[in-house]
Chains A and B, each alone.
Chain A
């Protein structure tokens, strides 16, 4: 009697939790979309030209005229932060897109094909994984020279194996399931099996990882910018704006705090979204629920 009541309560709370999760998911998704829209429309919505210097207005504290103050060239910080959002967020998205796409393809191929090529590629990815990431990125960026594109390339070089590993593992997990065998028997080609039957079943964890990676990549890009290996002046980019303003933490804190908060908010948003995506997609909870039913 008591037990059934408890189960009922648990099922009910789970339902509420599920609703809550969905609400959270839509909330964070909306916020992220707003962020992306702001970044996309940056050139249209900035109050001032983010690149227009006016040395007579240098380092003005926040005021109604310049809501976030001005930097040492007299450029409007608010405009630069908005414009920087475009550079920073879209380069992080580009980067994550590249490594997710490339890594997943490699992983799918290796997992499905197996054999010598698989072990060869996995050894190669071992080599990449064996490098302390930041060190390798610094070395690559140092060789290619500074610049945002090069920083993205450098980080892409070291980050794809993670996705290759992840998707390969997932493929191995379902490759021998009866429905795949059935598809194969029914005459489906390898490409069709991989993309129609395997990919849709492993895309969940990959999506979660890549959403969570957006924040990480933004931070790593900022780290490279700090070392002077990221965005080039005068491009508005949060990481380089922060490192440019860091010596002004005590004298003109707004110069570093504005891009700092921007990074913080966006990384947090992407992380929150990633977390809720995981809650929504989590195969384990879903599976358990199904079993219970």
Chain B
């Protein structure tokens, strides 16, 4: 077990190096000039000397490799530079906004689980019945509407017409409902189908057919064996979805004025605030890789078959 974890951790190093190099190269090759952006976004002119000075101050006039190693050294020590726009330390800004995004991610996953597992199981058990068709119908709808459109409709109906929730709110529990719903609708639509497929597959396995033949009651069987086995797959899927969720929060956070890292990223991209974008991309990637690792380890721990396969 320890050996496996150690091996996986070692494998992370090249991946993380690759991520940093790729994102750094990308941001650098963006021909856009951050200093111009810095001085040009409202009225008022600044001389080229002032700009050159600023470039020097930010180290933008140095060769690529030096900029990269400087920056990588900074990353390792938790110093990712200063935002070109707000002049605040990037890492601190990022960390200060991370809890809001994690909060939103967790509520969305929770809601997704609460929606997709019961409906997915129901859909599988009532395979090809009316309930199944209805659930699948809704999951198709949820799957085929762009997130920004869903959020607009939700705001319009739930906040404006029914006045159930605030449009943006002031940080109370109610203000998280709409962004959570937006994210959970798209995810649930996807995962209800996944859960349905997984459970169906499980239900068609020989042991279930055998159990059925032995006269074991359907609910007992469902909860005792089928769900337990299916859960493994579902947990993996959910863990993997954290990555897409973290990315998906960007648009939703912007619309709902949710002050998390997603909104920070969109704002930074629009402002070409490179240090901020880099921090976002890298930390998101690291979080994602980390979550995957933990999932793998849990999976590994829970399922002895895989353990044998991988260690053998």
Contacts and interface: CB of A to CB of B under 8 A. Distances in A.
Interface of A: 123-124, 126-127, 130-136, 138-140, 142-143, 215, 219, 222-223, 226-227, 239, 242-243, 246, 249-250, 256, 260, 263-265, 267-268, 271-272, 284, 288
B26 A135 contact: no
Nearest to B204: A288
Nearest to A239: B146
Interface stretch (B82-90, B216-224, B281-289): B281-289
Given A123-B18, A124-B18, A227-B266, A268 B144 contact: yes
Given A135-B250, A284-B201, A242 B15 contact: no
Contact of B269 (A139, A246, A288): A139
Interface stretch (B37-45, B49-57, B240-248, B302-310): B240-248
Contacts of B144: 215, 219, 263-265, 267-268, 271
B148 A246 contact: yes
A6 B260 CA distance: 57
Interface residues on B, range: 35 or more
Contacts of A219: 144, 146
A135 B265 contact: yes
Contacts of A139: 23, 26-27, 269, 277, 281
A263 B23 CA distance: 32
Given A133-B244, A136-B281, A215 B148 contact: no
Contacts of B149: 242, 246, 256, 260
13 contacts: A132-B246, A132-B288, A139-B277, A226-B148, A227-B251, A246-B152, A250-B156, A260-B146, A263-B144, A263-B145, A268-B140, A284-B201, A288-B204
Contacts of B265: 135, 138
B211 interface: no
A130 B288 contact: yes
Interface in B5-39: 14-15, 18-19, 22-23, 26-27, 29-30
B147 interface: yes
Contacts of A127: 15, 18-19, 22
A249 to B, nearest CB: 6
Interface in B257-285: 265-266, 269, 272, 277, 280-281, 284-285
B295 interface: no
B143 interface: yes
A140 B145 CA distance: 24
A127 to B, nearest CB: 4
Nearest to B277: A139
A140 B143 CA distance: 25
Nearest to B286: A130
Contacts of A263: 144-146
A267 B18 contact: no
B146 A226 contact: yes
Contacts of A223: 146-148, 251
Given A130-B19, A223-B251, A264 B244 contact: no
Contacts of B269: 138-139, 142
Contact of B281 (A135, A243, A288): A135
Interface in B141-161: 141, 143-149, 152, 156
A215 B143 contact: yes
A219 B244 CA distance: 14
Nearest to A266: B144
Given A127-B19, A260-B146, 20 more contacts: A127-B18, A130-B15, A130-B19, A131-B281, A131-B285, A132-B243, A132-B244, A132-B246, A132-B247, A132-B285, A132-B288, A134-B244, A135-B247, A219-B146, A227-B251, A242-B148, A256-B149, A260-B149, A263-B145, A265-B144
Contacts of A132: 243-244, 246-247, 281, 284-285, 288
Given A139-B269, A249-B156, A267 B250 contact: no
